[in-house]
Amino acid sequence: MSELAGKVVVVTGASQGIGRALVALLAERGAKVVLAARDAGALDGAAAACRARGAEALAVPTDISEPEACRALVAAAVDRFGAIDALVLDAGIDMIARFDEVTDLGIFERLMRVNYLGSVYPTYFALPHLKRARGRIVAVSSLSGLTGVPTRTGYAASKHAQFGFFDSLRVELRGTGVSVTMVAPDFVETAIHVRAAGPDGRPHGRTAFGEGKVMSAAACARRIADGMERRKRLLVLSFRGKAGRWVRMAAPGLIDAIAERAIRDAGS
Ligand SMILES: NC(=O)c1ccc[n+]([C@@H]2O[C@H](COP(=O)([O-])OP(=O)(O)OC[C@H]3O[C@@H](n4cnc5c(N)ncnc54)[C@H](OP(=O)(O)O)[C@@H]3O)[C@@H](O)[C@H]2O)c1
């Protein structure tokens, strides 16, 4: 029986990609799921898929860059289920543009509002409930939160900010029973790269890699759910990501070259 069976899990970014795959998996493992994202239609579809797996599911259309919307999300979850045992901060947006080619500076603010503040706000409102439940916080960052990546300056900054925030919060939460798991996926096969902001702020519009060449959203979700169950501190989801953490200490220039090649190979 899963550690997550019967637990109330709030997942942001549940309408698409990794978050959508994760709520389906959590439903299979017996969790009660609360799904948040902006697209109400897609969210309803994801919630229906959870119910089809026998789980209770609540869809709450939410723009996580708005503090009041995050307060309402937490209130809706507690109103329906009486508790929050886990909060997964998965919602995120990307950019694909060299800094010297950017023409819309608003990209940088949007990335921070969604990826960074969109993690802080739900955590703030859910924290009293998570403390009561001795629960779990899971923040889906990226390898770009651990190292620099060309064409992703603003994205990497927002993902580094997530690491700084949650690594600090984890220390504050010592003794409360609340665990903090950071997730650093490598490339995952979702449409995030199609939606990513190009230099002018409009969607880049192209997939970054061929199907089957990178981790699937379902495989990524499985790694996250397993790590959540075991309250892991950090999940780095690729070999090059894991090895890179050690190599970087001795040869940071080599990691820069690997990051540059990874982006070139992905065609973005
Ligand atoms: N795919 C990768 O290669 C990769 C690699 C490393 C890390 N990650 C991280 O993994 C997470 C999930 O990415 P993904 O690839 O699954 O992306 P995705 O398929 O584009 O899904 C992103 C999710 O975030 C939601 N979202 C975006 N802006 C939002 C907002 N303002 N308020 C609420 N929800 C919002 C989207 O829903 P709505 O549009 O309906 O709001 C969607 O459900 C992100 O944090 C991403 O940075 C992805």
Inside any domain, residue 266:
no
- Check which CATH number belongs to the domain holding 193 and give it: 3.40.50.720
The per-residue pLDDT for 143 is 96
Q: Domain containing 200: what range? A: 8-238
Inside any domain, residue 69:
yes
Domain count, the chain: 1
Give the strands of the sheet with 234-236, arranged side by side: 57-61, 32-37, 8-12, 86-89, 136-140, 179-184, 234-236
Nearest atom in ligand 1 to the alpha carbon of residue 38 is 41
CA 250 / ligand 1 centre spacing (Å) = 33
Q: Which residues are catalytic?
A: 155
Inside any domain, residue 20:
yes
The per-residue pLDDT for 212 is 64
Inside any domain, residue 252:
no
**Residue 229 phi, psi dihedral angles, 5° rounding:** -60, -40
Inside any domain, residue 109:
yes
The per-residue pLDDT for 208 is 60
For ligand 1, atom 47, name the residue with the nearest CA: 92
Inside any domain, residue 262:
no
Percent above pLDDT 90 for the chain: 90
**Tokens 């495989």 -> residue:** 219
Pocket of ligand 1 (CB under 6 A): 12-19, 37-39, 42, 62-65, 90-93, 114, 118, 140, 142, 185, 187-188, 190-192, 195
CA 90 / ligand 1 centre spacing (Å) = 6
CA 12 / ligand 1 centre spacing (Å) = 9
Could you read off the pLDDT of 174-232 as tens digits, one per residue? 999 999 999 999 999 999 999 999 999 999 887 766 556 799 999 999 999 999 999 99
Could you read off the pLDDT of 238-249 as tens digits, one per residue? 999 999 999 899
Inside any domain, residue 127:
yes
Inside any domain, residue 77:
yes
Could you read off the pLDDT of 62-112 as tens digits, one per residue? 999 999 999 999 999 999 999 999 999 999 999 999 999 999 999 999 999
